[in-house]
Structure formats: C-alpha cells, structure tokens
C-alpha cells in the first residue's frame, strides 16, 4: 500500500480555493435578495483571481497576474456594477429591483434542491477524477471541483424561475469554466483570455438589456409566465 502523502502548500491552497468557489456556488441557492446574489458572484470571481495569482506565482507564469487583474476589474467590479445599474431603474412597481425578493422563485424546496446539487456535484467530481488528465498547472482535484461548479450552476439555472438568478447562474457557470481553464490551460495566451473576458462583458450587457425588457413587460423577475411559445 502506498503511503498517503500530504499535499504541499501549493496544492492544498489551490484545492481550498477551488472548494471555496464551489461553496459560494451552493450559497447562491439560499440567497433571497438579488443584491446578495450579485455580491456572491463578485466574491466567487475574486476567488478565481486569487487562484490565478497563486498559480502564476508558483508556476512562474507572470501573465496570470494580468489575467487576475483583468478578472478583478471586469468580474468583481464592472459586471456586478453593470448588473446593478441595469436592474436598479426598472424594479417591479417602482421598487428597486436590486433588492427584489427572489427567494420564492425556486421550483423545488431548498432542502431537496441542495440534496440534488450535492449528488450532481459528487457526480461531476468523480467523473472528472476518472479522467487521465496530468501535467497541468494546478492540482487535478481542482479540475474535478470545477466540473462540480459547472453542474451545480446548471442546477441553479434550472431550479430558479426568475431571470436574474438564471443569468447569474450562467455567469457563475462561466466562473467554473475559468477554474477549469486555470487547471488545464493556465498558459493559454493572455490575449485570448482577455478577449474571452470582454466577450463576457458584452454578454452581460445584452443579458441586462433583455432582463430589463422582461421586467418592463412582465412587471416581475419571474419566468413563470414565459409559456406562450410551445409546440
């Protein structure tokens, strides 16, 4: 039997950050206010930036510092700002939408949803663990966690029936992919990474516009009425 080896400081640190990202994703299930949902997204993005700095420092990839800075500028500052601005003016019945209550939009109860999310996360974790992925920048455990984040984000998007949570679920799904990219594609050229980030910003603006349009017509964030097109 092989002796169990304690992970080094680097691997341990990276794995802890990855797990924190997953925990923030779970935290999104119980957020009742849109404002807090956006705040959770910002903190999750900040964790991605911290991980980028850590990988950059240990693996001597200085461009990851730039990536971390761009992540902070766009995902921690700009995107939450854009989301709040777009939602502030058009709250239902004049109330500020950023404080809108989205707790009741879940299709399932909180406990059952979290149970499903745990099962899905475990599936993602072990499925990725079965992949023979080696020679990567960050520890492979982080890759398994990233797939869990992606799958749990899907659960969030499916379970929540309001436009804002669905959008934020999608953006956090993108965070999960950023995490996977830090593990297996850390040396991806910076120019491409930055292009991807600006593309995300563009998507956020369009999502915001469509959310505003939805609120303007439905006078709520709920997607329960989006059932007229079928067949």
**Euclidean distance between CA atoms 133 and 140, whole angstroms:** 7
Cβ proximity to other proteins: between 119 and 210 the closer is 210
Cα R_g (the chain), whole angstroms: 19
| Cβ–Cβ under 8 Å, residues 206 and 186 | no
**Euclidean distance between CA atoms 150 and 136, whole angstroms:** 19
**Euclidean distance between CA atoms 103 and 30, whole angstroms:** 7
**Euclidean distance between CA atoms 77 and 62, whole angstroms:** 22
Q: Find, among 17, 2, 24, the residue nearest to 51 by Cα.
A: 17
**Contacting range for other proteins; rule: CB under 8 A; set: 6-14, 47-55, 62-70, 198-206:** 198-206
Cβ proximity to other proteins: between 1 and 21 the closer is 21
| DSSP-H helix ranges across the chain | 9-30, 34-59, 63-71, 79-88, 110-129, 140-159, 163-184, 190-218
Cβ proximity to other proteins: between 24 and 204 the closer is 204
Cβ proximity to other proteins: between 20 and 190 the closer is 190
Binding status of residue 57 toward other proteins by CB under 8 A: no
User: Residue 117: is it exposed, middle or buried by C-beta count within 10 angstroms (0-12/13-18/19+)?
Assistant: buried
Residue window 205-224: x/- pattern of binding to other proteins, with contact defined by CB under 8 A: -xx-xx--xx--x-----x-
Residue window 111-150: x/- pattern of binding to other proteins, with contact defined by CB under 8 A: --------------------xxx-xx-------------x
Cβ proximity to other proteins: between 72 and 153 the closer is 153
**Euclidean distance between CA atoms 70 and 197, whole angstroms:** 8
Among 23, 187, 219, 224, binds other proteins (CB under 8 A): 187
Residue window 68-97: x/- pattern of binding to other proteins, with contact defined by CB under 8 A: ------------------------------
Q: Which residues pair with 33 in a beta bridge?
A: 101
Is residue 125 within a helix (H) or strand (E), and if so which, with residue range?
A: helix 110-129
Among 54, 174, 208, 220, binds other proteins (CB under 8 A): 174
Contacts with other proteins, residue ranges (CB under 8 A): 131-133, 135-136, 150, 154, 157, 163, 166-167, 170, 173-174, 177, 180-181, 184-185, 187-189, 192, 195-196, 199, 202-203, 206-207, 209-210, 213-214, 217, 223, 226, 228-229, 231
């Amino acid at each position: 039997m092989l002796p169990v080896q304690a992970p080094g400081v680097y691997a341990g640190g990276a794995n802890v950050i990855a797990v924190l990202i997953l925990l923030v994703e779970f935290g999104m299930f119980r957020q009742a206010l849109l404002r807090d949902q956006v705040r959770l997204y910002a903190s999750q993005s900040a964790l991605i930036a911290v991980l980028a700095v850590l990988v950059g420092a240990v693996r001597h990839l200085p461009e990851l510092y730039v990536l971390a800075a761009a992540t902070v500028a766009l995902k921690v500052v700009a995107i939450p700002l854009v989301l709040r601005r777009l939602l502030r003016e058009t709250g239902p019945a004049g109330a500020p939408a950023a404080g809108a209550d989205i707790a009741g939009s879940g299709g399932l109860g909180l406990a059952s949803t979290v149970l499903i999310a745990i099962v899905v996360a475990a599936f993602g974790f072990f499925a990725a663990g079965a992949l023979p992925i080696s020679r990567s920048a960050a520890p492979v455990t982080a890759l398994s966690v990233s797939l869990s984040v992606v799958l749990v984000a899907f659960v969030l998007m499916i379970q929540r029936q309001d436009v804002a949570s669905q959008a934020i679920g999608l953006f956090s799904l993108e965070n999960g992919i950023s995490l996977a990219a830090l593990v297996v594609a850390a040396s991806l050229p910076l120019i491409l990474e930055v292009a991807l980030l600006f593309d995300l910003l563009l998507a956020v603006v369009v999502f915001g516009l469509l959310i505003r349009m939805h609120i303007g017509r439905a006078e709520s964030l709920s997607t329960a009425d989006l059932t007229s097109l079928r067949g």
